[in-house]
Structure 1
Amino acid sequence: MPHSDVMPIGLFARRSGLTASALRFYADSGLLRPSETDPVTGYRYYGAAQLTRAITLRRLRELEMPLPAVETVLDSGAEEASRLIDAHVAKVAGDAMAVRHRAGMLKASLDGAPGLPIAVLKGPVLADAVEQILTATTWDPEMPVLGGLRIETGPEAVTLTATDRYRLSTRTLVPAETPPQTWAATVRGDELRAAAAEIRRSASVRIEATPYGVLLRTPGREDQFCGLLSEEFPDYRLMLASLGDVTTRVTVAKGLLLRSLEDHSTDRVALDVTDHRLGVLSTGEGACEASLASTVTGQSLRVWFDLTTLYPAVSTAIGPDVMLDLRGPQRPATVRSAGRGDLTTLAMPVKPDHPAGMPHDKDRLHDHCSHQR
């Protein structure tokens, strides 16, 4: 008869999250043998001390780790087990990206037609722009387009745009060759992010359009394929057209502003603009945590932002100084370089009394623009 500190296979299965058949398989494989087996009935019993190993085994198999690797992890110390798990995840992610790339290249060749040339850009410049603009994307299963980057080509420029509904970033690039025609589509942001590391190493990148995505062709390197998103991209030109007049303009050293935001003690921050000064305030009583020398034109103003909205808008600005165009406490603010205008970010303020991370109706750029219209 089993001892009182062991449990039958059914109870152990429920507590560990493994099925009885899986436990029998792992017992036969030597990964998790029962502590006792009734010699007459053949019933298997497991000890409470085996639960940790059983649960870890289940979680490793949920990562699709092969059995030999699972056994090695189970028999390793915490540090070595962590390293082995990281190595497995990296391999799975790499394999998935390789499969996606091969599938994309296959789709690009299905109709037999060559890619349509749309632009030639400097590789490092394009890679930087992609990484800057992708900070304004988000993962939303109900709106996949918010994870994409809009690419538009015209006779004089290539424009990259992304939005997560609380920020909008857009940057124009001067092509190395005049684009042969206008073209626009929304490209998968995750695939562009992965491709950026490769195109950064090339002096030039030729972008070609296919029915299913874009090919990024680099001399002497493997082509990169990024798929398209079919959903309609938000009308960001309407957003830009409906911004309203700037009431306050602030120019401040980017490094000083970033450091004050990094040292900020709360999730909500207020920019308090007065004559020649920009104050960074905390929530609650609005105590000033930093006072930065600035060039200010227009009226005094206090505007509140979620830190997760304002910080990336400032950090991606190009150059040593950042320019803030403010339009009021509930209107989108424009963040750009004080010396260059090819990268522009819109950041939506919040009400100071609204809970952080819980947007109210007018917090979203699209809602604001629809209201203005």
Structure 2
Amino acid sequence: MRSIGEMARESGLGVSALRFYDRAGVLVPDRVDPVSGYRWYAPGQLDEARLLARMRRAGMPLADIRLVLAGWTDTALVRRLLEAHLRRLEKGLTDARAEFSALRALLDHRENPMTSLRTDTSVRLSLSADGLAAALDAVRFAAGSDPELPMLGGIHFDVEDGALRLVTTDRYRMAVARTPPTDTRDPASGSRCRCRSPTRCGRCWTGRDRSGSPWTATG
């Protein structure tokens, strides 16, 4: 039998983690002292604890950990669960890279407020009024209002995968929205939004006909 301390040292799980997984019914000790409440683990539980530690380090959710341990002999099931978690991690990394890219752009703009965020290229997109309005609505709440950080008081526009991406942040929150371009043969016939304030942007489309007339964003 292994004490909880020995199990922690040999498995890579902390004592508090072992207690948590006991309460969750995931890794229940073989014996619990009825007087002291001290936990004891059978020799065969070490491999299970080490497997659990690996999944914990990989950030696997508790529900999936439970399924993997319960179905460990079902190789196909375990592979599906592991691959699904890996896909979630990869998507999360992709999303995190996009957010950090937006943050770096905001930092660059703060350091060079008079310089366009895109100096090496020009991009022109035609957008539907409804699409732009919905995207602005989705991000305005997170725009900064601190007078000492005026560079965070607007909306950052960027083009990603052919769509317009809007980003706002007040350092504590971040909001990101995307809106696809419309297919228009004459983008110059649209309207161009030059506002730097989310409040003013809100007034740009208020009362405007949203029947589909395009807006044109340039950058």
What TM-score do the two structures reach when normalised by structure 1?
0.30
Greater RCO structure (CA 8 Å; 6+ sep) = 2
What TM-score do the two structures reach when normalised by structure 2?
0.49
